[in-house]
Amino acid sequence: MVTIAAPRVVTPGGLLHDGVVEVVDGRITGVRPLSAAGADVVLDSGVLLPGLVDLQVNGCFGTDFVDASERQWDELTTALPATGVTSLLPTFITAPVPHLAAALRRTAALLPRLPARPRARVLGVHVEGPFLAANRRGAHDPAHLCDPEPAAVEALLEAGGDLLALVTLAPERPGGLDAVRRLASAGVLVSLGHTDATAEQVEAAAGAGARKVTHLFNAQRPLHHREPGVVGQALADERLTLGLILDLHHVAAASCRVAFAAAPGRIALVTDAAAPAGMPPGRYRLGGEAVILEDGRPPLREDGTLAGSVLRLDEAVANAVGIGVDLVTAVDAATRVPADLIGRPDLGRIAPGAVADLVWMDDGLRTRATWVGGEPAFAAQPVTS
């Protein structure tokens, strides 16, 4: 057994002050108050929380996941715990369906070959597009947008197998609801995004099996008092979990507060990080096209369109707390909520039986150390033991 003590521990029941987490064989076996016996590892400040779960990561550290080499997959998944992320869905954006199918097959083949070491867990792949609305495409290449015809949907399902975990689509496209039903019946999480759907169409898609909305407020029909659109229906519909890019560039602070207030327990913080994340200003690639990163701004296409973000998920948690969201709710939105949505109730919580994916953050909510399956995966400095 290994025991880790911290001044504050985020648990499903709330904040435990001066708590100890017990770990045996990579799983949490107990959570208790600190006693005179002490602990094997003593964190002298900050907060211990579950490993962060990011359901939308296009790339980071200079690399786009969709065309990353085996070595780059190794490097990226080993580096991500420095941001607090212990589980993720790498995201492949719009491209021709054969290209996406090939990328899914290549990824399925290379993941088992990665060296055995603590790294961020790949829970599957998120395919964002190409079944998106042209007028809400954002940074997606319009040349490759298409309807979700049965053959295209089946091609992704066949190529992805168990790896295909999430598909973002616009349900108003011809065949959209049938695609939602087919994907959901195959066990794929369906998210509504880059969509001009009306509230009625969003409601129908949720009825057909969609359970998520991709980056709430961005690239979707906005809220209107007579036509609630994607945003209004998403906030009101308890069947839907709402991805939110809380970098304070994609969505204003007041809108983020509205989302947390209107949809308690249904906000999943995501980064939508692209290759420039963690890199200096310069030119990078997203979906095969150039993006430009300047200091203090998200990545942009050359026409000024937002192209993903450079957000860290620990930073998103800190931003949520900074705009007035309480710590436990903010952490929940980056841990338990996305883990439950993707069907992994063994992740995203500090509770007996859960996988021992843990993050130590300082008082400013910046990652100082990370454990994956109870094994150290990152440490900004040696922890006290």
Q: Is there a binding annotation on residue 307?
A: yes
Q: Is there a binding annotation on residue 226?
A: yes
332 is catalytic: no
Q: Is there a binding annotation on residue 300?
A: no
Q: Is there a binding annotation on residue 71?
A: no
Q: Is there a binding annotation on residue 75?
A: no
Q: Is there a binding annotation on residue 139?
A: yes
Q: Is there a binding annotation on residue 109?
A: no
Q: Is there a binding annotation on residue 124?
A: no
CA nearest to 91, candidates 264, 259, 267, 277: 277
Q: Is there a binding annotation on residue 249?
A: no
Per the DSSP assignment, residues forming a β-bridge with 375 are 372
Write down the catalytic residue from 196, 272, 314, 340: 272
Q: Is there a binding annotation on residue 308?
A: yes
Q: Is there a binding annotation on residue 184?
A: no
**Residues tagged in the binding site annotation for substrate:** 139, 218-219, 226, 250, 306-308
Active site residues: 272
Query: Residues annotated as binding site for Zn(2+)?
Result: 128, 194, 215
> What residues are designated binding site?
128, 139, 194, 215, 218-219, 226, 250, 306-308
